[in-house]
Structures are given as C-alpha cells and as structure tokens.
C-alpha cells in the first residue's frame, strides 16, 4: 500500500513575525463587524475580510490561514446576525464567496509553503555539494561567482573546488554535460572525487587520472542508455607555494586567462586531454602545461555559460576582448566586472555559469598557509 501523502507541508517553526502578522489579521477581522455597525445598510464590508486571510496565507502559512479564514466567516455571520440579514440572498452570497476564496487561499498557501520547503531542502543539499570557496588558500587569494540555469536551483552542472596540499594549491573548474537539476548528481560525483584525492601529494597527472577513473565508473551506470553521452569538461590547476609557475591539465575545458601586468593571455594546454569520462579516447597519460605565474598575477577560470552567452543579435560574449580592460583588477573586482558586464551583454542567461579568479599574492600579503583545507 503506498504511503499517504498529506496536503499540508511540514510545519515550520513559529516566528515573532508570524505572531505579529496573525495578530494583525485577527484585529482586521474583529474590526469589520464593528465598523459595519456604523456604515449605511447598503455598504458591504464582506470583501475586506478576504485581506487578512490572504495576509496569513502568503506570509505566515496554511495552518494559520485556515484559522483566519474560519474567523473571517464567523465575523461575516456575526455582522449579518447583528443586522438581522443573515438569511438574505446577498449575505448568503457573500458567505459562499468568502468561504470559497478562503479555501482557495489556503490551498495556494499549502502549495507555496511546500515549494519553500522543497527549495530550502534543495539549497541545503546544494550547499553541501558546491561548498563556498575560501577567500584564501595558501598564498593565493580567491573570488568566485556561480549561477545555475534553472530558476530557484542553487547548483547546476558547472562546478569548482579548491584544495590544499602541504606545498601547493589545487583548483578544479568543470562543466557537466547538461544543466540545472538533472546534472546535480554528476556534479556531486566529480566534486567528491576531487575532494577525496586532491589533498594528497600525488603528482597532478595522477590526480587527473584518478578523477577520470572515478568519473568514468560513476557516469557509466549499468542500464543507462545515455552513458556514452555523459562527460565532464574540466581544467585542473596546481599553483606551487614556492615556485612562480602554474601547472594546467585541460580535459576539454576552456583555457584560463592569465592577467600579467597589462596583458591577458589564454593558457592553452599543449597536450589537451578528452573530457573526464571519455578517457578511453586518450592515447596517453595526462601532461601538465607549465606557465609563469608570478606574485601579482591573476588567473580567470570560467565555463562556457560565460563565453556562449548571446546578446540580442545572437553574438557570443567576447570575454577575451573585454578582459583587456580589467588588467588592474583584484579577484573580487575581476569577478564582479565579468558578471556585471555579462548581464549587460546577454539577452538572457540560459546556461549554468561559473567564474573563479585567483591571485598569487605578494609574499608580504600571503600570510600563513591554510594547511589542508578543501572547499568547493
């Protein structure tokens, strides 16, 4: 026998705000019969009783809206009895209308409350999947921005993460095929594999190979007719603490942008690998490409939700061209510049989007490394 599903959602904790709004609604209901005594007989105030029911329905919850609706009906009955018109056609019509509207408002409140409850649960799950990045990891300052394509969904198919080893900072940015809710499971798989392996001292190629194995095993589930179509583009980056370099392994992902003094350069990997999950197509291992990354330099990592955003005429967002104007920005202001300019450019953002900016701090700014923290 299937489990019974109740209409009312789980009850939320009562707040002072709820008590104040409920008291205000009850006061309005009590006021209507009193005012009704002092207005002409042809003036009807029954429609005003809908307002306190709506107030509690949309701002408090269905349980108190039910009580408020019942009080409103009783107030209308009291007003009709006071005027000795309770059985008149007009009052009976008002009673019927108020009862129907109250029921509809309670049903709407149930649906709204359930939606809020679902979104709150989804938000908690999403925050556990895509953890906020730290402001600093070792000698690296970090800023990020994220937007899921599906409205009301905090996490989609784009992902990022940061991990510390004993002597370096490792970063992951990736894009799961698909977007919105359907891709959250694959996002969790990739991030879980990175968190489990990235803090170890194994070389970067071994880390990427470990990610490939985990992703291929996780995505290719038995009986999944679309297993061959599931993959993850990713860039895995390592920034040593004591060396002025950055090492990049690209698995089909867009190249990070290096901001050095007044220049912006895409860091194209010399030997890019296939996306994670398609490693069987690779003819060799994973080879990092090394680039200079000196104190004061910044890296901008991003997903195709940025570069494939279109304006009203269908033109793609020219990130590299726009980035030339932001060479003096620190990570926070760089991320803000990208996201605000992207919103101004795009007719509508219909894909997941992730942006991460990092800066190798000057030695005097770096402070004490954060140890083995993992986030993302």
Give percent above pLDDT 90 in the chain.
39
- Computed on alpha carbons and rounded to an integer, the radius of gyration of the chain in Å comes to 29
Asked whether residue 221 is assigned to any structural domain, the reply reads: yes
The average pLDDT across 35-40 equals 72
Residue 82, pLDDT score: 66
Q: Determine the 3-state secondary structure of 298 from DSSP.
A: strand
Rounded mean pLDDT, 320-326:
95
The answer to whether residue 213 is domain-embedded is: yes
Residue 12 has pLDDT above 70, yes or no: no
Across the range 143-171, mean pLDDT stands at 85
pLDDT in tens, 282-295: 666 899 999 999 99
The pLDDT of residue 121 is: 59
How much of the chain is in helix, strand and coil states, percent to nearest 5?
A: 45, 20, 35
Are 172 and 256 a contacting pair, CB within 8 Å?
no
CATH at 163: 3.60.40.10
Could you give the number of structural domains in the chain?
2
Of 125, 159, 193, which residue sits at a domain end?
125
Euclidean distance between CA atoms 80 and 191, whole angstroms: 65
The pTM assigned to this predicted structure is 0.68
Predicted confidence at residue 217, as pLDDT, reads 84
Higher pLDDT pick, 338 / 8: 338
Q: What is the mean pLDDT of residues 137-150?
A: 89
Residue 159 covered by a domain: yes
Q: Which residue has the higher pLDDT, 148 or 315?
A: 315
Q: How far are the Cα atoms of 174, 283, 289, 348 from residue 286, in angstroms, in the given order?
A: 16, 10, 10, 37
Q: Is residue 234 located within the same domain as residue 339? A: yes
The Cα 118–Cα 153 span in angstroms is 10
116 or 144, greater pLDDT:
144
Residues whose CB falls within 8 Å of the CB of residue 376, separated by 6 or more in sequence, listed in order: 130, 131, 133, 159, 160, 161, 162, 163, 172, 191, 194, 195
Q: 49 to each of 29, 31, 80, 88, 321, how far by Cα in Å? A: 6, 10, 13, 19, 59
Q: What is the mean pLDDT of residues 317-326?
A: 95
pLDDT at 376: 59
SS3 63: helix
In this structure, are 204 and 247 located in the same domain?
Answer: yes
Tell me: do 111 and 141 sit in the same domain.
no
Closest by CA position to 210, among listed 249, 266, 240, 239: 249
pLDDT grade for 224, boundaries at 50, 70 and 90: low
Q: Is it the case that residue 367 has pLDDT exceeding 50?
A: no
Are 144 and 285 in the same domain? yes
Reply yes or no on whether the pLDDT at 243 is more than 90. Answer: yes
Residue 96: half-sphere exposure toward Cβ, Cα within 13 Å: 7
Asked if 156 and 246 sit in the same domain, the reply is yes
334: its two tokens: 């760089």
State the pLDDT at residue 124. 61
Higher pLDDT, 35 or 111: 111
Q: Is residue 10 part of a domain?
A: no
* CA–CA distances in Å: residue 298 to residues 138, 158, 254, 294, 376: 15, 21, 16, 9, 19
Distance CA 41, CA 359 (A): 75
155 with 279, same domain? yes
277 domain residue, yes or no? yes
Residues 81 and 150 in one domain: no
For residue 5, being part of any structural domain is answered with no
Decide if pLDDT at 280 tops 70: no
What value does the mean pLDDT of the chain take? 82
**Same domain assignment for residues 143 and 247:** yes
Last residue of a domain, one of 125, 154, 185: 125
Q: How far apart are CA 171 and CA 106, in angstroms?
A: 48
Give the model confidence (pLDDT) of 350-365 as tens digits.
678 899 999 999 775 5
Asked if residue 110 and residue 154 are part of one domain, the reply reads: no
| Kind plus residue range of the DSSP H or E element containing 108 | helix 89-129
At 287, give phi and psi (nearest 5°). Answer: -110, 115
**Residue 49, in any domain of the structure:** yes
DSSP secondary structure, 323-367, as one string: HGGGTT--HHHHHHHHHHHHHHH-S---S-EEEEEEEE--HHHH-
Predicted confidence at residue 69, as pLDDT, reads: 86
Average pLDDT of the residues in 234-243: 96
How many Å apart are CA 188 and CA 130, to the nearest integer?
8
Q: What is the pLDDT, as a whole number, of residue 1? A: 39
| 117 and 220, same domain (yes or no) | no
> Rounded to an integer, what distance in angstroms lies between the CA atom of residue 128 and that of residue 375?
10
Q: By C-alpha distance, which of 153, 180, 154, 174 is closest to 162?
A: 174
Instruction: Tell which of 125, 156, 174 closes a domain.
Output: 125
Report pLDDT digits (tens) over 74-108. 887 877 776 666 677 777 887 888 888 889 989 99
Residue 372's pLDDT band (boundaries 50, 70, 90)?
very low
Residues 248 and 171 in one domain: yes
Cβ proximity of 352 and 157 under 8 Å: yes
Residue 3 belongs to some domain of the structure = no
Structure tokens at 83: 């005027």
Residues 95 and 220 in one domain: no
| Domain ranges, residue 34 | 16-125
The answer to whether the Cα torsion of 344, 298, 141, 150 is positive or negative is: positive
């Amino acid at each position: 026998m299937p489990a019974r599903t109740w209409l009312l959602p789980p009850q939320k904790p009562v707040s002072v705000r709820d008590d104040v709004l409920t008291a205000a609604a009850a006061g309005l209901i009590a006021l209507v019969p009193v005012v009704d005594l002092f207005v002409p007989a042809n003036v009807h105030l029954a429609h005003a009783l809908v307002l306190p029911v709506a107030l509690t329905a949309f701002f408090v919850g269905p349980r108190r809206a039910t009580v408020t609706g019942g009080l409103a009906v009783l107030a209308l009955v009291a007003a009709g009895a006071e005027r000795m018109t309770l059985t008149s056609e007009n009052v009976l019509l008002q009673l019927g209308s108020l009862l129907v509207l109250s029921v509809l408002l309670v049903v709407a409140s149930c649906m709204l409350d359930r939606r809020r409850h679902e979104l709150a649960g989804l938000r908690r799950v999403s925050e556990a999947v895509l953890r906020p990045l730290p402001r600093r990891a070792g000698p690296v300052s970090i800023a990020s921005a994220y937007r899921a394509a599906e409205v009301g969904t905090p996490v989609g198919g784009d992902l990022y993460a940061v991990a510390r080893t004993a002597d370096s900072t490792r970063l992951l940015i990736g894009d799961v095929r698909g977007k919105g809710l359907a891709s959250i499971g694959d996002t969790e798989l990739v991030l879980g594999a990175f968190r489990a392996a990235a803090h170890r001292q194994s070389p970067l190629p071994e880390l990427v190979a470990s990610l490939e194995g985990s992703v291929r095993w996780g995505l290719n589930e038995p009986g999944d007719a679309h297993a061959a179509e599931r993959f993850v583009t990713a860039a895995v980056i390592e920034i040593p603490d004591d060396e002025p370099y950055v090492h990049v392994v690209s698995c089909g992902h867009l190249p990070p942008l290096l901001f050095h003094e007044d220049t912006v350069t895409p860091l194209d990997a010399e030997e890019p690998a296939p996306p994670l999950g398609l490693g069987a197509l690779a003819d060799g291992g994973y080879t990092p490409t090394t680039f200079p990354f000196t104190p004061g330099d910044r890296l901008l990592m991003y997903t195709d939700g940025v570069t494939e955003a279109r304006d009203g005429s269908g033109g793609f967002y020219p990130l590299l061209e726009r980035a030339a104007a932001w060479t003096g920005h620190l990570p926070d202001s760089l991320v803000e510049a990208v996201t605000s300019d992207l919103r101004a450019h795009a007719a509508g953002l219909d894909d997941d989007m992730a942006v991460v900016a990092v800066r190798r701090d000057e030695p005097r700014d770096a402070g004490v490394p954060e140890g083995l923290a993992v986030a993302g």
